[in-house]
Every structure is written in C-alpha cells, then in structure tokens.
Amino acid sequence: MRTLIKNAVVVLPDATCAVDVLIDGTRIADIDPAIQLAVDEVVDASGLHMIPGVIDDHVHFREPGLVHKEDLLSASRACAKGGVTTFLEMPNTQPATTSIRRLHEKLALAARKSVVNYGFYVGATTNNLDTLQLATRTPGIKIFLGSSTGDLFVENQDVLERIFAETGLPICGHCEDETTIQRNATHFGDTQNVADHSRIRDHEAALVATRRAIDLACRHKHRFHVLHVSTAAEVELFDAARPFVTAEVCPHHLFFTTGDYARLGTLVQVNPSIKNRSDTIGLWKALTNGLIQVVATDHAPHTLDEKNRPYPQSPSGIPSIENALALMLNAIHVGRWSLEQVVDWMCHAPARVWDIQAKGQIAIGYDADLVLVDLERSAEVQNADQFTKCGWSPWHGVTLTGWPVRTWVLGHEVFHDGRICAERCGQEVPFDHARGGFWANG
C-alpha cells in the first residue's frame, strides 16, 4: 500500500515546511517526492500539520488483573484517538511484570489486542535481580522508591545499590520518599480532606527520593529517568546529573495546582501529588530550557465510582492519554510554546531516551507512525466522548484548541473522523540500548 499525504505543513527534524510525504508499506519512503508518482491513495491534508506519532513512555493500562478500569484494546484505541502511536507500559498490573515470563505474556497480549505500538517495563523488587540482569525486549527497569502495588517497592539501600551497579538496562523511577510520606500521614491523622494529599506527599517527599536516585545513577554511571517530576526544586538537581539523568513531566503537573482540589476533589488526586502554582511555572521553564526532556501522561485510569470514594479511600491516578496532545496543542494556541517544542518533548525525546529504533521523526526510512493535527479546531472535552474504558476525564468541560484528527500506525490509518478505522496494527517496539540513551543520541 502506497499512500501520499499532500499539502500538510510537516514538522521535519530540521525544519517545518509544506511538503508531501510518501508512505510505502510500513515506512516513510520519501519526503517531497516527484509529482508523477503511482500510489494507491492520496490524502489531501490542506490546512493541517503533520507530526510524528507521539511516544508515551509512561502509562498504566491495567491488563492483566484490573481490566474493569482499562485493557490493552480500550487503552490503545484511546492512544490512536489522542495521536499516540507508541506506548511504554508500567509493571504494576496484577500480577506485576517482575519476571521474564510475565513480560512475554504481556507482549503476547498486546500482539493480539493493540491498535498501536507497544513496549513493557520490567519491575524491580527486592529479590529479582537475576530477572533484571537477563531481561530483553523491554525499554528498561521500573523502580518504585515509594509505596506501590504488591512488592513493587524497593527502599533497602543495599538492594538499590546492587540494581544500579549490576544491571545494564536503563532505569526509571517513581521518586517519593516513603519515610517522609508516613511521617506526614501520621501528622495529618485521619484526614478526609483530599487537599491534604499534597501535604502528605509533599515537596520534601519528592525531593528526597529524587536526590537519592540521582546519587545512585551518578555514582554507578547508570542511566536513570525521573518519572513525573512534580516540583520546581527537583529540577535544580538535573543539570549537574548529566549525562546519566533525564526527566519527564506530565500534563496534570503542568496544568493543575492545589487550587484545583476545591473544584475537582479526588478527581485530581495523583501520585506524586499536584503542587503549587510556582511549581507549574518552574516545570514549564524546565521544559523550555531542556532540564526536562519528555512530556508523558502517567495515564492511570480508575472508574468514577472508585475516584468518588471519600479520601483517602479514593485511588490516585487519572486518565489522560487521549487528551494530552490536545492540551499541549492548546498551550501553543495561547502562546506558551511552539509546535516544534511539543514534537521534541513528545516524539523525538522519548525515542532517544529509550533507544527506540526508527520512530519519533518524520524522515525517510522511519516507521510511518504519523498524526495530522488541526491547530485551529476547538472542541470541548466530554466524558461521553472518551475512548478509555473508565469513561471520564478531569478536563471534562474544558475547551481546547488544537486536536489530532488522523493517525497512522506503521502505514495503516487507525483513527479518522472521530472513529477507529483499523484494529491490531501495532507491533512490539524494538530497543537498541547500545545506542546509549538521550545524551548519546543527539
């Protein structure tokens, strides 16, 4: 199948310009090809911009074990709608992905179900060092340096030292210090005020754990990716930690603050917690000056019934994968940053951080994972329109300007005109960790 996408303004690696893009099978065959060309399909993209498919390196899709919240089919459909053509999923399912067998089981599930491309992290525990040493077919190791599901919590310093010293895969981490959290929880006692969530999981909890992880990474010269940075204070640690440390930020930490608890209550309860206005400003600045490299969602769906339980019985986490790109495009509309910056943070950078081959750019020979976006389209986020199985969004009722309108995965159009138009097009993501990560892949 040869498809020619014409008349779009295309974000290329070194320029943004009006060129035609030729897809041949699963790959980008040519940029601005000859006028006389035999193709099977011509797509007129006049008035639209073309970007590489978004790579979301931080999602929780709940399968296996919690499929009443989400599964790989519903989540990957939401990805396609949101312009996400590749996801990397975290290990805290039930059972957790802490063995090679479970990793391969997840890969097999996704091969049967996923509309978009996929990869799965392997989770660190206190006693699976051998798995972490032998695992392949994965972006890397996930460590929870704070409370999590089951045994996915590694606090013992000796165990952490061995993981950083004796494994070769890149590591990413949830950085919140459990001792600080428990001390704060004791102080606030039996609070039912959800705003106390940000006082219990406070700035110090994030800063202490991030500082600890960075120390491990730098001493052992081991690549480490700080997940969902939530405080401006953490950002101050990153510059001195190059070339071993990269970092990401999520839309909820960019666009929500503690002032939103009064309006949204437990719907914006997340871990790490949302912080203050000064933190969101600091995170915006860190993105623009390169101290944070990646924007990812931490998509973590729960049903509305679960989220509406009184605090602290309410679970932490929000769905965001089908609205994240639109949120970032809306920020372009209000003048906060440029389309090229958004493409760098959501497409180029995650491919570099995780050594993903042939993705994240619109270039000859790269996979035809492509998204057309309409920067002028305004629409209101509505719970009823969500593709995620949980069926709600904390941005319900918010009007955003700038939306993905068509998505291709490996040359197959999977989303168009508000609907999924192809199924099970995704493939397992290949990783080439010998490439050396973000700082080596400039």
Q: What single DSSP character describes residue 417?
A: T
416 contacts 393 by C-beta, under 8 angstroms: no
370 contacts 78 by C-beta, under 8 angstroms: no
408 contacts 370 by C-beta, under 8 angstroms: yes
The one catalytic residue in 71, 177, 279, 298 is 298
Task: Report the candidate in 421, 427, 379 with the shortest Cα–Cα distance to residue 399.
Answer: 379
C-alpha span between 209 and 340 (Å, rounded): 32
C-alpha span between 229 and 324 (Å, rounded): 16
**Residue 96 structure tokens:** 């957790």
User: Which residues in 70-139 belong to E strands, given as ranges?
Assistant: 84-89, 117-120, 122-123
Active site residue 215: no
C-alpha span between 319 and 376 (Å, rounded): 24
Q: What number of other Cβ atoms are within 10 A of residue 17's Cβ?
A: 11
**Residue 404 structure tokens:** 């993905």
Task: Report the candidate in 63, 59, 21 with the shortest Cα–Cα distance to residue 42.
Answer: 21
**Percentages helix, strand, coil for the chain, rounded to the nearest 5?**
35, 25, 45
Name residue 153's amino acid. Answer: F
Give kind and range of the element (H or E) at residue 157: helix 157-166
Give yes or no for a cis peptide into 243 (omega within 30° of 0). Answer: yes
Q: What single DSSP character describes residue 65?
A: T
C-alpha span between 60 and 390 (Å, rounded): 13
Task: Report the candidate in 409, 442, 437 with the shortest Cα–Cα distance to residue 423.
Answer: 409
Q: Where are the alpha helices (DSSP H) in 229-366?
A: 232-235, 251-255, 261-264, 277-288, 304-307, 324-333, 339-343, 349-353
For the stretch 114-141, what's the b/e string if a residue is b when 16 or more beta carbons lie within 10 angstroms of its beta carbon? bbbbbbbbbbbbeebeebbeebeebbbb
Sheet with 21-24, side-by-side order of all strands: 27-31, 21-24, 2-6, 41-44
Q: What number of other Cβ atoms are within 10 A of residue 375's Cβ?
A: 16
Residues with a catalytic annotation lie at 298
